[in-house]
Amino acid sequence: MDEVDLDRPSHLRSSPFALAGTKPSLPELAPDDPLWRTAEAANQYVRAAKSPATRRAYAADWRHFAAWCGEHGLQSLPAEPATVALYLAALGATHKPATITRRLTAISAVHGEADHPSPANLSHRLVADTLHGIRRTLGTSQKAKEPLSVTQLIRVLDHLEGGLLAARDRRCCWLGFQAGSAGRKWLPYR
């Protein structure tokens, strides 16, 4: 893996792209350049595109992938789809499919920032089949919870006591319930 340029601003050093040794897509301009303020605004928008938690997760995911590649003598940037498929197989026994998918996204993001085609794209048959095989073999442990039924919601709303605040809370809960019923007919107001 390339060395991280410590002269870069800290927001660039902590990104997965800095860890990959790639450069930001916008040029660094001198403060007296007429486009300097515009470039600074653009950089702020780029930083705001992902939450700090997402950037930290991507950075950790990229470090994990790059370290795994290094341990096995494989190139992390640019990586081959076969390398990504092997990495997925290594993760399959110990990680949940959601984590594996996030790692694929981080690998793809770093490659995109470095102007390399993504080897983690599901358009690569080997990568897609490996991920689908992991999901099919190990299953996905994420199960959606059953929503409240109308009868259950009415029982909950009937227990709200109080004056105007309780009436407001009942209406808010009822509207929220109806808004969550996407694709179904709206239920009549109580």
| Among the listed residues 168, 190, 166, the one whose alpha carbon sits nearest the alpha carbon of residue 178 | 190
Quick: pLDDT tens for 52-89. Answer: 888 888 899 999 999 999 999 999 999 999 999 999 99
DSSP 33: S
Q: Give the pTM.
A: 0.59
Output DSSP code: residue 124: S
Q: Are 91 and 133 in contact (CB under 8 A)?
A: no
Architecture (CATH level 2) of domain 10-138: Orthogonal Bundle (1.10)
- The answer to whether 153 touches 177, Cβ cutoff 8 Å, is yes
Tokens of 71: 């341990």
Which helix (H) or strand (E) covers residue 120, if one does? none
CATH 1.10.150.130 intervals, the chain = 10-138
pLDDT string in tens for the chain (190-residue length): 444 343 444 434 445 555 544 445 677 788 888 888 898 888 888 878 888 888 888 899 999 999 999 999 999 999 999 999 999 999 998 998 889 999 999 999 999 888 899 999 989 999 999 999 998 887 765 566 777 788 888 888 888 887 888 888 888 888 888 777 654 554 454 4
Distance (Å, whole) CA 65 – CA 32: 40
